[in-house]
A and B are shown apart, each in its own frame.
Chain A
Amino acid sequence: GAGVSQSPSNKVTEKGKDVELRCDPISGHTALYWYRQSLGQGLEFLIYFQGNSAPDKSGLPSDRFSAERTGGSVSTLTIQRTQQEDSAVYLCASSLAGRPPQETQYFGPGTRLLVL
């Protein structure tokens, strides 16, 4: 079946602009996660969704970052007033029910964001 998909695959933007990154999880997966992969910081957790709710937003680096999920499916990560330090690969993952700690998370291909 179809895996996790993300769009766009690459995004180049100018400092100060807003960007939206999209994630389509595996069908039937209720848990969705956003991670960021940047040089020097490795893979960092950003936010977790269970259905349309986000019980944990603790990894969002600033209030310029927000995310939503609709219909228990698609999620959008929005970065407002982008800064150069936001340049990274943003990875989305989904798992069946978010049941800790044993569920396997399946990752999408990521969105490579470059802020000029």
Chain B
Amino acid sequence: AQKVTQAQTEISVVEKEDVTLDCVYETRDTTYYLFWYKQPPSGELVFLIRRNSFDEQNEISGRYSWNFQKSTSSFNFTITASQVVDSAVYFCALSESSGGYNKLIFGAGTRLAVHP
């Protein structure tokens, strides 16, 4: 069964600290995609990154970086030098091909609070 686990319910940090959000997934497919979305207080889910199962290169975008490790079925997200504007709920999601379309399976989300 497909499943995404975000074990950290809430994280609180002080501005400029680095923070890592964990994501562990389960799937029987060999072809799948992983996503991270940000949900600020306004409520809209904002797309951050998409990574396919065949590309294990880590990715960096500004202060954001992602570590994909197939061996441990993890796709962790690190924010370097966090800022107050990073405060949001972050969701990791899995998409598989077996369903014939792009249904997303979401983790429960991690609420990040960055304090000044």
Contacts and interface: CB of A to CB of B under 8 A. Distances in A.
Interface string B95-116: 1110111111111110000000
Contacts, number: 72
A108 B101 contact: no
Interface in A29-60: 31, 33, 35, 42-43, 45, 48, 50, 55-56
Nearest to B46: A107
Given A101-B95, A102-B52, A48 B109 contact: no
Contacts of B12: none
B47 A109 contact: no
A108 B31 CA distance: 27
Nearest to A45: B103
A48 B95 CA distance: 14
B101 A98 contact: yes
Chain B interface size range:
20 to 34
A33 B105 CA distance: 13
SS of A interface (majority): strand
A89 B44 CA distance: 10
A101 B33 contact: yes
Interface in B15-47: 29, 31-33, 35, 37, 42-47
Interface of A: 31, 33, 35, 42-43, 45, 48, 50, 55-56, 89, 91, 93, 95, 98-110, 112
